[in-house]
């Protein structure tokens, strides 16, 4: 029989003294100098109601068997992440709103002072908007086209009107919205319309090239340069350093830039660490309430020592594991990373 909600919600407190945790709001200036690790990509489900052309999540039969993240596990891990100094949690999936406990997870993460990001496809947001409005620091909707038919072709479902409705509701609720525009060789011509839409509606869009981890063709160099041209446009976020990195061929296994397991921790719905990352997990390690101690163990070093150095890491261009902070590493991308970070803050103020 399912336990009463109140009992389930307080079980974690027996093991953790919440008063020991320092509650802080995200201070962007101070956090440029953050201590590692900085962010966590938290997969709360692998289920999805979309069938995006460039994604394998809905195609992979092994992911279908994995249950959604449990509220109790998430709470325990969030406390440990807080103790580790993590500032930013991206709740992702699949479609994260398919996990019925997500509103509670978001609320708890905000109570602990995390900057919370919810990346979703806009199909379920309208029914959760009111409930989660105070728990999401940044609300991200996937948005690649203004053409209803093309949307259906790219995403495999007829959800275009719902996305527009979601944006409208989120604006009305004064949410911090960021549309995520993934550019492919086929959709690059949509950029002028997308940028115009965002200016007219005063909504920020993050434009980035398609990752190549699902054996998709990389964006052509001339198109990468096309994205760069939008850098100074109002309501546009473009990471110049990530684009340079992409154009230069991505990660170099002899001088890796990947921060998987160092700055960025990736957790699966079945309460495991992805080692080294979700996209190329060679193994999964059960967390079982020991995230904090595991992070400080030699085992962790061994698990993530090869992140960015595996053969399959050559050419990797997944930004989720790269640019957590402009001051993480001073290299050839440093100044553009800093400039891009500054532009993000400008758009934050503008919107
Ligand atoms: S919405 Fe996201 S997880 Fe779902 S199929 Fe599309 S890209 Fe994949
Ligand atoms: S460089 Fe390797 S470990 Fe890092 S994100 Fe890419 S595939 Fe994963």
The pLDDT tens digits for 130-155 are 999 999 999 999 999 999 999 999 99
pLDDT recorded at residue 213: 67
User: Which residue, 36, 43, 117, is CA-closest to 84?
Assistant: 36
What's the half-sphere exposure (Cβ side, CA atoms, 13 Å) at 114?
32
Higher pLDDT, 216 or 293: 293
29 CA to centre of ligand 1 in angstroms: 33
Residues with CB under 6 A from ligand 2: 251, 258, 260, 276-277, 279-280, 307-308, 310, 312-313, 316, 318, 321
Ligand 2 atom nearest to 307, measured from its CA: 3
Interval between CA 91 and ligand 1 midpoint (Å): 13
Q: Is residue 16 pLDDT above 60, yes or no?
A: no
Most confident of 10-24, 242-256, 282-296, 328-342: 282-296
Q: Which atom of ligand 1 is nearest to the CA of 51?
A: 5
Window from 11-25, 70-84, 244-258 with minimum mean pLDDT: 11-25
Q: Which residues, 6 or more positions from 196, have their beta carbon under 8 angstroms from its beta carbon?
A: none
Q: Which two tokens stand for residue 190?
A: 């949509």
Looking at all shown ligands, the one closest to residue 151's CA atom is: 1
* Domain 36-350: homologous superfamily in CATH: Aldolase class I (3.20.20.70)
Instruction: Assess contact for 81 and 107: CB atoms under 8 A.
Output: no
> Which ligand number lies closest to the CA of residue 49?
1
**Per-residue pLDDT, 182:** 93
Q: Cα separations (Å) of 42 from 52, 56, 109, 233, 297?
A: 20, 18, 12, 31, 21
Map out the domains of the chain as residue ranges. 36-350
């Amino acid at each position: 029989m399912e336990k009463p909600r109140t009992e389930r919600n307080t079980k974690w407190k027996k093991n953790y003294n919440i008063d020991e945790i320092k509650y802080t709001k995200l201070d962007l200036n101070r956090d440029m100098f953050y201590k590692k690790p900085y962010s966590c990509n938290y997969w709360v489900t692998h289920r999805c109601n979309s069938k995006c052309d460039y994604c394998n999540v809905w195609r992979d039969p092994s992911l279908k068997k994995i249950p959604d993240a449990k509220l109790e596990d998430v709470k325990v891990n969030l406390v440990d992440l807080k103790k580790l100094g993590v500032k930013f949690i991206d709740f992702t999936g699949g479609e994260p709103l398919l996990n019925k406990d997500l509103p509670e997870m978001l609320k708890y993460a905000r109570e602990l002072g995390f900057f919370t990001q919810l990346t979703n496809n806009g199909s379920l947001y309208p029914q959760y908007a009111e409930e989660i409005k105070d728990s999401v620091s940044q609300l991200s909707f996937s948005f690649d086209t203004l053409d209803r038919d093309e949307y259906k072709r790219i995403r495999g479902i007829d959800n275009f009107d719902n996305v527009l409705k979601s944006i409208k509701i989120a604006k009305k609720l004064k949410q911090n919205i960021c549309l995520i525009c993934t550019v492919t060789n086929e959709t690059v011509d949509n950029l002028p319309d997308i940028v115009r839409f965002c200016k007219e509606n005063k909504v920020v869009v993050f434009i980035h090239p398609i990752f190549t981890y699902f054996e998709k063709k990389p964006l052509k160099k001339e198109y990468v340069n096309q994205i760069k041209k939008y850098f100074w446009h109002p309501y546009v976020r473009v990471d110049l350093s990530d684009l340079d990195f992409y154009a230069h061929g991505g990660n170099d296994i002899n001088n890796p830039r990947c921060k998987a397991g160092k700055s960025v921790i990736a957790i699966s719905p079945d309460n495991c660490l992805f080692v080294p990352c979700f996209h190329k997990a060679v193994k999964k390690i059960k967390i079982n309430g020991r995230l904090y101690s595991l992070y400080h163990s030699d085992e962790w070093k061994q698990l993530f020592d090869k992140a960015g150095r595996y053969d399959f890491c050559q050419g990797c261009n997944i930004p989720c594991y790269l640019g957590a902070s402009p001051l993480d590493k001073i290299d050839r991308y440093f100044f553009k990373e800093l400039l891009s970070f500054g532009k993000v803050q400008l758009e934050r103020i503008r919107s």
